[in-house]
A and B are shown apart, each in its own frame.
Chain A
């Protein structure tokens, strides 16, 4: 196995994947498929403690720290949101906290999905990204302290 792809490399990979589709309908179908294939958050974590309130859609997010990397599992009750959650997990999962904090999420713009991150959408994604960053900060402090 070669070296692990960086966050921006995975982002580029996603952009290429989406470029394959000619119209937005194809892109959304693909996004929804990706959401379907996201391994669900363990039912025991599908609770209020891990819930990010989005008002319209709900997102659950759990993070753990393994061998210096953050492992994310997540879920959403809406398919489009879940697809976007799957993309975020795909790029950010199993990364060092510092890389997560510095992550460039521009790929979402390039696949024309960035509008979904607006807080006015009330779908929990904007809050999810904030929560991801908080986890990264938290784990960074933990790892520096030990």
Chain B
């Protein structure tokens, strides 16, 4: 359960939503940038979000007056750095509702977390003919680590089908489960289409058959309150940089019962208890998985980012982002020849689309001229693009600091781009 930080809401009393967003925007220096002579409209949040001044200043303060290596020194600075680093772990534990701080491993990010589980959890238990289950929607980061471990062990990667609207085919999921399934690895939210996957149901069905589940939460954590205990998920992975925190830091949540049994992923300092050439004994959780000097500033900044999100509150975030999505869907559907890619009923605030027969690159290039940052291409999800028979999409992804006006600017600029491209 998420407990500690529930109370720390910024006082938004008496402010309407627009004023709240104005206040929030003032925290993000990058949002006042000018790009190509236009005020920046930043709609590439799914790739990486901008950072609030609180996070920036926290990192700056750490490097200015609090820096030393962690876990090693008896001196005051080292003690302090360790304290902040470890208290950030507590913040994250609470942020995702984990039971124990030993279940929170600092990694480089989602990709690193998934690779850790592939090598340290999956590899030792996989035998030839065993199966790992993913879906057709996955990010390459939730495909390639499993392909690697399959090559190493002779296991097979099985892929759950999706419907044309970007939702997963639940019948196919159920049929894909077999007595050889050793692990299910699935996104919580699709980064290219925005589909929210019913992971709670998947986890419960999988557990019914004794199969553990890893959830790639990279695109979920920025948008919704995650409670790993309530989900009963076995591994949950996410990145700091998509949730208003620093790059190069992320989290692997793992149930203690699994983490305890897993061998270390990398060897080095901090992960050991004692080393001799006769043999090495490993440190306790979570340090067993944090070899070498960690990204201390990143971890501390991530804690601040989580606190920042807590202060805004997930109630506001979900409610407001749903409005942004609704507005975008409404405005963009009025553009002639615009086709949405990914129309599942349950979606995070992401719209993927194509404009007539134009190449996503052209649309993104023209939008950039209007100061709008969107992403074009396959979004590291080539399998889903080939499944839908398209080379890629234009993707606009929204954060709680985006405004309704920005969505109107997007729609108007798309109209103008359409005129430039098809006049």
Provide the bound-state CA to CA distance between A28 and B366, in Å: 9
Task: Judge whether B87 is part of the interface by a CB distance below 8 angstroms.
Answer: no
Q: Which of A28, A29, A77 contacts B359 (CB 8 A)?
A: A77
Contact between A57 and B423, CB atoms less than 8 A apart: no
Provide the bound-state CA to CA distance between A32 and B366, in Å: 12
Find residues 40-58 in chain A having any chain B CB closer than 8 Å to their own CB: 55-57
Find residues 9-39 in chain A having any chain B CB closer than 8 Å to their own CB: 24-25, 28-29, 32
Map CB proximity to A onto B364-376 as digits: 1 under 8 Å, 0 otherwise: 0110010000001
The residue in chain A whose Cβ has the minimal distance to the Cβ of B359 is A78
Task: Judge whether B421 is part of the interface by a CB distance below 8 angstroms.
Answer: yes
Number of A-B residue pairs having CB atoms within 8 Å of each other in the complex: 36
Find residues 386-400 in chain B having any chain A CB closer than 8 Å to their own CB: 391-392
Contact between B421 and A79, CB atoms less than 8 A apart: yes
Interface size for A (C-beta < 8 A) is: 15
Cβ contacts under 8 Å, B358 to chain A: 79
A13 to chain B, nearest CB (A): 23
Map CB proximity to B onto A71-113 as digits: 1 under 8 Å, 0 otherwise: 0000001111100000000000000000000000000000000
Contact between B420 and A56, CB atoms less than 8 A apart: no
Contact between A56 and B366, CB atoms less than 8 A apart: no
Map CB proximity to B onto A113-135 as digits: 1 under 8 Å, 0 otherwise: 00010000001000000000000
Contact between B369 and A80, CB atoms less than 8 A apart: no
Cβ contacts under 8 Å, A116 to chain B: 365
Contact between A56 and B369, CB atoms less than 8 A apart: no
Contact between A123 and B369, CB atoms less than 8 A apart: no
Map CB proximity to A onto B248-284 as digits: 1 under 8 Å, 0 otherwise: 0000000000000000000000000000000000000
Contact between B369 and A79, CB atoms less than 8 A apart: no
Contact between B369 and A28, CB atoms less than 8 A apart: yes
Q: Which of A29, A32, A81 contacts B361 (CB 8 A)?
A: A81
Find residues 342-382 in chain B having any chain A CB closer than 8 Å to their own CB: 358-362, 365-366, 369, 376-377
A-B contact pairs, 5 of them (CB 8 A): A25-B369, A29-B423, A77-B391, A78-B361, A123-B361
A111 to chain B, nearest CB (A): 14
- Which 8 pairs show the lowest CB-CB distances between chains A and B? A78-B359, A78-B361, A57-B361, A56-B361, A79-B362, A80-B362, A78-B362, A29-B420
Task: Judge whether B200 is part of the interface by a CB distance below 8 angstroms.
Answer: no
Contact between A55 and B377, CB atoms less than 8 A apart: yes
Map CB proximity to A onto B401-423 as digits: 1 under 8 Å, 0 otherwise: 00000000000000010001101
